[in-house]
Structure 1
Amino acid sequence: MNPVATTSKNKPPRSLKSDRRQPPKKSKVNNKGLYLRAVKDAFVKLNPKYAIKNPVMFLVWVGTIITLLVTIDPYLFGQVSGENLQRFNGLITGILFFTVWFANFAEAVAEGRGKAQADALRSTKSETLARKLSPDGSITEVPSTSLRQSDTVYVVAGDIIPADGEVIMGVASVDESAITGESAPVLKESGSDVASSVTGGTRIISDELIIRITADPGKGFIDRMIALVEGAERSKTPNEIALTVLLAVLSLVFLFVVVTLPAIAFYVKSSISVPILIALLVALIPTTIGGLLSAIGIAGMDRVAQFNVIATSGRAVEACGDVNTLVLDKTGTITLGNRLAEEFIPINGHSIEEIASVALAASVFDDTPEGKSIVRLAEKFGAKVEFDRNQSEPVDFSAKTRMSGTNLPGGYQARKGAVRAILGFVRSRNGQDSPELNAAYEQVSHQGGTPLAVCLDREIYGIIYLKDIVKPGIRERFDQLRRMGVRTIMLTGDNRITASVIATEAGVDDFIAEATPEDKIYVIQSEQAKGKLVAMTGDGTNDAPALAQANIGVAMNTGTQAAKEAANMVDLDSDPTKLIDIVSIGKQLLITRGALTTFSLANDIAKYFAIIPVLFATANLQSLNIMKLTSINSAILSALIYNALIIPALIPLALRGVKFRPLTANQLLQRNILIYGLGGVIAPFIAIKLIDMLITVVGLA
């Protein structure tokens, strides 16, 4: 292809070649560097403007400041009795400080993973020279950062594609490993609904393309990826906000409880110092989930990113966990997608050779894998192209006509397509139905194949049997979703009999046969009207309205720009079945948050019954000290140490997530109460007693 008449003045200079480079391969995250950066960031997050965003941990932060002041001046709030007050107050201050720092560290580690991915993506971006095409056909070299939407550029083998765009002329191989991690090149061509979109920062490795730019500087796909995985645009999800409010209310309740303790202590002729009150408050408020809440949400987005899926927000990931209905295309999602011609079934007295010749004529311009397989099968039966291609006109397939073919020299019309579409075509030319057609149609449909009718003008020659294979293991995955309460609906353009066979084999709950693009929106709206949250995948421009309508829309990276912009997730691997994994990750996020919340609240209950009785032991109420803790000071320090250490102990679980199991909501609730509720009650009693014994031996209290 030579899109313009290039003169010597607009040939690219040698300096342009020096800007070409290999995109870096994805590498494993450097854990040592990640943790070192998290240690530093944890100190930065001690800044009040960051700390105040987490109400629970901010309360601990304020308590740390107060106990620090009391450490400096033990009598700041009046006379108190006791020995080694400064040492005891200093120990409380140190433990409270590390409680806040551990919570910051958990969040910083989760954010660090995203920043590492962002750094890798950022390294793929650089300002390069681009060949901008002017309306008169001349080429001007401009910096890639100066390109704007609707500009047109010319790229050749070895060039870095300067910005996101759509191919408007040419066919070329593009290396997209910079964003997908896959080294295999991807074919990009103009006029394709799913292979014309290109991403800035990827590299063209063969041939040449003319690209229309679709994104202004700083708004391209990689720019959005960097912002999202780095967390710059992360905002709290509705569930996080609701849980944060709940934790804040619980903290306020415990604050009122602690404030009333001095009056109770005075009544029973006991006394409680300010540091002990603060320590007691911190031990009782839900600091565990408060410290890990942000890390859980960030880690959920990170797990999605590890699946090579970019989510537009944490809200989208979280919503996946609440999905009730999955709307899935059959081809490429439930089946392997490479439907191939398996057999010709002639009817109306025609021979296999005759149907092969007509099928070849109808498919000679069909470059899809399906069309090429029909050509190969026809050639096996000796069919040949015996007409002038240059005087023939291809008729492309469309969702409305549901057929394709060739207008042959002499006015003849060869068509192949859905049986009803071909029947309508034949009837419009005064042709007649055939009882044999229905028999052949049902024969193929009952085998789970797709029947295509073949005709020449008003005469139907027979049926092409297209064979499609259900993906291995897909039935088991749908069974898992069903156990989680997720309903699956298959959409297919196949006839109802074929769709029923495939649906039964795959194990989906429902199906829509002979579906059109409008049917997708109708199905989604119908499910949403029942109060369901719906997820679906798509890649074409005609999928964009449905992707926008769905609660979760996952666009394929090979899809059009319109599909990517309408969706709230983009799958870099362009694997439609990944939607099932995304739903599992969303549910795992909710399960993890629920499990750790249950554990944290159970901890608070246990610590309440472990510590409160000790406070009144000096008032001849020793019988309340059921754990036989050594003293008030050792009990307080033991509870605080456990409270601080449980946060880093649970960081791996928060980042990795609770192991996902396909259970119903009630089953998950029962499991959480049994494991994390009961465990959250037992663990503090054991740990606080052991720490108390250690403190007594060491002599800290």
Structure 2
Amino acid sequence: MATFAADHGSFAARRYLKEVLRDTFLKLDPRQMWHNPVMFVVEIGTVITLVLTLTAPTPAARGYDLAVTLILIVTILFATFAEAYAEARGRAQADYLRRTKSTTPAKVIAPNGQVTVMESDKLRRGMQVLVEPHDIIPGDGVVVEGMGSVDESAITGESAPVVKARDDSVTGGTVLLSDRMIIEITVNPGESFLDRMIALVEGAQRQKTPNEIALSALLGVLTLIFVFVVVTLVPIARYFSPHATQVATMVALLVCLIPTTIGALLSAIGIAGMNRVAMVNVVAKSGRSVEAAGDIDTIILDKTGTITMGNRMATEFLPLPGVTEAEIAHAALLASLADNTPEGRSVVDLAKEILDLRDTPNAEGEPVPFSARTRMSGIDLADGRQIRKGAVSAIRAIAQQEPPPDLDRLTESVAREGATPLAVAVDGRVLGIIRLKDVVKPGLKERFADFRAMGIRTVMATGDNAITAAVIAHEAGVDDFVAEAKPEDKITLIRSEQAAGRLVAMTGDGTNDAPALAQADVGLAMNAGTMAAKEAANMIDLESNPTKLLDVVLVGKQLLITRGALTTFSIANDMAKYFAIVPAMFAAVPSLRVLGALNIMGLKTPHGAILSALIFNALIIPALIPFAIRGVRYRAESADRMLARNVFNWGVLGIIIPFIGIWAIDHVLGLFGLA
């Protein structure tokens, strides 16, 4: 999807030109337009001036009414085009996902063990399917047997394969590269992850967010107020200047006074915000969560699989006195040959590196699988030697002689570093310690520093002991941590933050994270996580990268800033257009010549001033579409400073640009004798 975002997002209107143009005109339907009160009033005004054009008594009146009508039609078309263009980008993403989603053969395992082949679109929840190397996984499900390497590039855009084991969730449309797995299907037809993604990125299905609804209501109230203002102005204008009471003039005045700019772009801003989240490979289930991300105060992160890689990896062999590193490495290698867990494979890889071995050696003997009761695994070699690796206390219990004090020193040292110690013994003689560490994902410390600069507090919640949690928290750069946290503790933490008036975001990937993800204002689940976590969250990160939450926060803040900036610009525009039209309307009235002092742009005629203001009002909408689609740039700074900067920049620009634009348009119209 990352590749798609680059290739398709910016060219949606070009690729879907027919659909954009079609929707631009379809959205003129009053049944759709009335949801946008500002543009609905403009549409009513257009109909009125169109009727006046058709019934005008003189050619001069007909020409003026026709000019006003045409400009109003263009204004409405630009507004509907902005929304249609934003929706086209969403459709482009949805169409890409539809091409990704395909019907494939599925090897269904019957209760008697017999394998039959059926089409993937006929799979039902609870069915088990066999997936072999290079097979396309036929549907969303959970691995119930086996493990293998899965290519998820069709979904995430990332070429690196992901190892899936028992209880891991898999997505239909991805490809198994190695080994074999049995997957239990967890969704019915039409309910798959891709189906939900397609529905979510469809701009037409987007629901208005609370902030957008509130702003729409405000714009509606402002529009109603200006309707009353213009209606009240009619008898006053008729008393002083009969020509100023032309209906077309009053309609033009109303259209220029109401906030048409933000009214035209409001829907496009919201749709584009959803699209920008999708372009960073995050699927948002609602626009509400995108907006909430822009106001986040606290982020709570699960440690395992979120801050860390999730699998403990062997990083060092620590031999006891009298034992060489090569000796403990060789023993650990033999004890791990039959251990297919990521932990066991990492021991083999580290031992081969230390022993300078290219190939994994063979060993004749009987593997001893890991047991929760013994907390050990190993191998009984054919020559009679018994090699064991496991918890230090378990290895100490089988030691034939008391281990040296250095064993306790090494064990405590490893634990204090946030790592896990495993002991290795041969025939009851303890050789040393294997250091296992859950590695912190790269780049986290820098991204958390960015959070801190934005005033967002980061908290790590983990079930580890306080010593391990403190080490990981320091290494990752989080602001605080909660150790030995149970699922209910995470919910308590979130509720306490919310009770203090803070908005909370939570990332996680496990079933135990699901309650907290559901409680948080913004819940971001890792795509590599469990189905329960993805169902509870309101956002899903396709790349399973917890730092992606920063991108989501940036998009949310950018969405709010864009809406605020364009609203400020629109209201400032209205002030400038007021100074253009009202003085021109009464400039010919001797008793109101004082209004001529307000004609600071030196507009030549009332009709020219009105047409110039209307033309500018129409042209500014397409000029601002790129800002609505891409968003106004966000900078990490305090809220007060950000507000002051945006109000100054967009407010001042909103006043200056209309003065310059209306003045220039009036002079151009004058060159053609239209002003």
The answer (yes or no) to whether the contact 1:166–1:213 under 8 Å persists in 2 is yes
The answer (yes or no) to whether the contact 2:527–2:534 under 8 Å persists in 1 is yes
Task: Pick closer, same or farther for the CA change 1:378–1:103 going to 2, 3 Å.
Answer: same
- Counterpart in 2 of 1:52? 34
- Counterpart in 1 of 2:145? 169
> Please, which of 210, 230, 240 is the counterpart of residue 238 of structure 1?
210
- Counterpart in 1 of 2:566? 596
Q: What secondary structure is seen at the aligned counterpart in 1 of 2:198?
A: helix
Aligned partners of 2:485 and 2:394: how far apart in 1?
18
TM superposition shift of 1:112: 0.5
- Counterpart in 1 of 2:75? 99
Task: Choose 536-545 or 179-188, whichever is displaced more.
Answer: 179-188
The answer (yes or no) to whether the contact 2:20–2:85 under 8 Å persists in 1 is yes
Give the aligned length.
657
Q: What secondary structure is seen at the aligned counterpart in 2 of 1:210?
A: strand
Task: Pick closer, same or farther for the CA change 1:438–1:100 going to 2, 3 Å.
Answer: farther
Task: Pick closer, same or farther for the CA change 1:382–1:89 going to 2, 3 Å.
Answer: closer
Alignment map for 1:246-395 (pairs within 5 Å): 246-270=218-242, 271-330=244-303, 333-334=306-307, 340-345=313-318, 366-377=339-350, 380=354, 388-390=365-367, 392-395=368-371
Task: Choose 168-177 or 643-652, whichever is displaced more.
Answer: 168-177
> Please, which of 179, 182, 202 is the counterpart of residue 210 of structure 1?
182
The answer (yes or no) to whether the contact 1:145–1:217 under 8 Å persists in 2 is yes
- Counterpart in 2 of 1:28? 7
Q: What secondary structure is seen at the aligned counterpart in 2 of 1:235?
A: coil
The one-letter code of the counterpart of 1:672 is N
The answer (yes or no) to whether the contact 1:490–1:511 under 8 Å persists in 2 is yes
Aligned partners of 1:628 and 1:641: how far apart in 2?
17
- Counterpart in 2 of 1:9? none
- Counterpart in 2 of 1:112? 88
> Please, which of 114, 121, 125 is the counterpart of residue 145 of structure 1?
121
TM superposition shift of 1:476: 3.6
Alignment map for 1:673-684 (pairs within 5 Å): 673-684=647-658
Correspondence 1:689 to 2:663: yes
> Please, which of 431, 437, 460 is the counterpart of residue 490 of structure 1?
460
The one-letter code of the counterpart of 2:53 is T
The answer (yes or no) to whether the contact 1:361–1:406 under 8 Å persists in 2 is no
TM superposition shift of 1:536: 2.1
Cα RMSD of the aligned pairs, angstroms, is 3.7
Aligned partners of 2:470 and 2:673: how far apart in 1?
75
The answer (yes or no) to whether the contact 1:441–1:463 under 8 Å persists in 2 is yes
The answer (yes or no) to whether the contact 1:454–1:460 under 8 Å persists in 2 is yes
The answer (yes or no) to whether the contact 2:82–2:625 under 8 Å persists in 1 is yes
- Counterpart in 1 of 2:482? 512
Which blocks of at least 5 consecutive residues in structure 1 are unaligned?
1-23, 76-81
The one-letter code of the counterpart of 1:132 is V
The answer (yes or no) to whether the contact 1:283–1:607 under 8 Å persists in 2 is yes
The one-letter code of the counterpart of 1:625 is N
TM superposition shift of 1:685: 1.1
Aligned partners of 1:205 and 1:506: how far apart in 2?
32
> Please, which of 405, 409, 412 is the counterpart of residue 376 of structure 2?
405
The answer (yes or no) to whether the contact 2:306–2:509 under 8 Å persists in 1 is no
User: Could you state the TM-score of these two structures normalised by the residue count of structure 2?
Assistant: 0.86
The one-letter code of the counterpart of 1:109 is Y
- Counterpart in 2 of 1:13? none
The answer (yes or no) to whether the contact 1:363–1:405 under 8 Å persists in 2 is no
Task: Choose 106-115 or 507-516, whichever is displaced more.
Answer: 507-516
The answer (yes or no) to whether the contact 1:26–1:178 under 8 Å persists in 2 is no
Aligned partners of 1:432 and 1:256: how far apart in 2?
94
The one-letter code of the counterpart of 1:643 is N
Aligned partners of 1:433 and 1:666: how far apart in 2?
63
The one-letter code of the counterpart of 1:101 is L
TM superposition shift of 1:89: 0.8
Identity of aligned residues (%): 55
TM superposition shift of 1:125: 3.4
Aligned partners of 2:99 and 2:346: how far apart in 1?
42
The answer (yes or no) to whether the contact 1:279–1:636 under 8 Å persists in 2 is yes
Task: Choose 57-66 or 359-368, whichever is displaced more.
Answer: 359-368
Which blocks of at least 5 consecutive residues in structure 2 are unaligned?
none
> Please, which of 402, 421, 432 is the counterpart of residue 452 of structure 1?
421
TM superposition shift of 1:243: 0.8
Task: Pick closer, same or farther for the CA change 1:416–1:603 going to 2, 3 Å.
Answer: farther
Aligned partners of 2:572 and 2:204: how far apart in 1?
34
> Please, which of 10, 23, 27 is the counterpart of residue 41 of structure 1?
23
Task: Pick closer, same or farther for the CA change 1:695–1:466 going to 2, 3 Å.
Answer: same
Task: Pick closer, same or farther for the CA change 1:374–1:199 going to 2, 3 Å.
Answer: closer
Task: Pick closer, same or farther for the CA change 1:143–1:508 going to 2, 3 Å.
Answer: closer
Correspondence 1:524 to 2:494: yes
- Counterpart in 2 of 1:20? none
Q: Residues 592-649 of structure 1: CA distance to partner in whole angstroms, max 9, x if unpaired? A: 1111111111111222233222222121222332222111111111111111111100
The answer (yes or no) to whether the contact 1:423–1:433 under 8 Å persists in 2 is no
Task: Pick closer, same or farther for the CA change 1:49–1:362 going to 2, 3 Å.
Answer: farther
The answer (yes or no) to whether the contact 1:346–1:462 under 8 Å persists in 2 is yes
The one-letter code of the counterpart of 1:406 is S
Task: Choose 643-652 or 436-445, whichever is displaced more.
Answer: 436-445
Aligned partners of 2:5 and 2:276: how far apart in 1?
16
Aligned partners of 1:424 and 1:185: how far apart in 2?
36
Q: What secondary structure is seen at the aligned counterpart in 2 of 1:630?
A: coil
Aligned partners of 1:567 and 1:41: how far apart in 2?
33
The one-letter code of the counterpart of 2:127 is D
Q: What secondary structure is seen at the aligned counterpart in 2 of 1:28?
A: helix
The answer (yes or no) to whether the contact 1:358–1:454 under 8 Å persists in 2 is no
TM superposition shift of 1:518: 4.5
- Counterpart in 1 of 2:449? 479
Aligned partners of 2:60 and 2:612: how far apart in 1?
17
User: Could you state the TM-score of these two structures normalised by the residue count of structure 1?
Assistant: 0.83
- Counterpart in 2 of 1:623? 597
Task: Pick closer, same or farther for the CA change 1:479–1:62 going to 2, 3 Å.
Answer: same
Task: Choose 179-188 or 362-371, whichever is displaced more.
Answer: 362-371
Aligned partners of 2:398 and 2:492: how far apart in 1?
30
Task: Pick closer, same or farther for the CA change 1:340–1:130 going to 2, 3 Å.
Answer: closer
